[in-house]
Amino acid sequence: MKEVALETLEDGFTDGETVILDEFSYANGRADIVLAKASEEYLKRRIDVLGISSSIEENTYLQVFLQLHGRGAVTKDHFFTIGATSENKKQEALDWLIESGFVKELDDGKIRTAPYLRRHVTTSYSIELKLGKWKQALKQAIRGKSFADYQFVALDEDNIIRAIENIDEFKKHDVGLMEINSDGEYFVHYKPEKESPYSPMNKWRLNETTIREELPYSVCTD
């Protein structure tokens, strides 16, 4: 089913350029398919203007980045007191973030994240595929609210009826319900409202994963 779903969704589930991730691991689990609409203009600015040609892959580095991002300029001594990460790990992460352009050292010795640095993913869809077991798929889709703007459960035509009979459960949790048939056609039985993801860590993890998938040649690997 996944092969059919990937071909189907790639052909026009969303408008405009879309990055398709076949499985996306995040703190709460793993989504079967994630579609991410991204701003190419901002990504180009991130590379050409801010000079950031890497993506943050290490969880600790991403955690340290988020502890500093949006906080404003702080001294290193104060920053090392924030959160539960050890000072040694923070120093290692901070060194990499500074070298890669994510964090700037100011003339007064303080540090802050690069100005005007934001995510380039503008809209995201998390889709859980199941041949049956719609209840399990619904639970998994709900967890996707931590990183995606929209969540869907996608079932094949032979198993969609039971889910449609319980569509109030999908509406209750505002999770979309989609049918994908063997001919590569999809039908949306319930479309959820856009909802801002609640986990900064998972949102940025999706952003950085999308960058690696979209422009692998731009990522520093040393």
Q: Is the pLDDT of residue 52 over 80?
A: yes
Note down the domain range covering 90.
40-117
- Provide the number of structural domains found in the chain: 2
Closest by Cα among 148, 25, 26, 85 to 97: 85
Q: Is residue 85 part of a domain?
A: yes
Q: Is the pLDDT of residue 178 over 50?
A: yes
Are 88 and 138 contained in the same domain?
Answer: no
Structure tokens at 37: 């609409």
Q: Is residue 203 part of a domain?
A: no
Alpha-carbon span 22 to 38, nearest angstrom = 16
Q: Is the pLDDT of residue 218 over 70?
A: no
Confidence of residue 76 (pLDDT cuts 50, 70, 90): very high
DSSP 79-119: HTTSSSS-HHHHHHHHHHHHHHTSEEE-TTS-EEEPTT---
Are 31 and 132 contained in the same domain?
Answer: yes
| pLDDT score, position 215 | 61
Confidence of residue 110 (pLDDT cuts 50, 70, 90): very high
Q: Is residue 75 part of a domain?
A: yes
Q: Is residue 131 part of a domain?
A: yes
Are 31 and 46 contained in the same domain?
Answer: no
Are 88 and 107 contained in the same domain?
Answer: yes
Q: Is the pLDDT of residue 92 over 80?
A: yes
CATH number of the domain at 65, please.
1.10.10.10
Alpha-carbon span 195 to 151, nearest angstrom = 9
| pLDDT score, position 219 | 43
Are 53 and 88 contained in the same domain?
Answer: yes
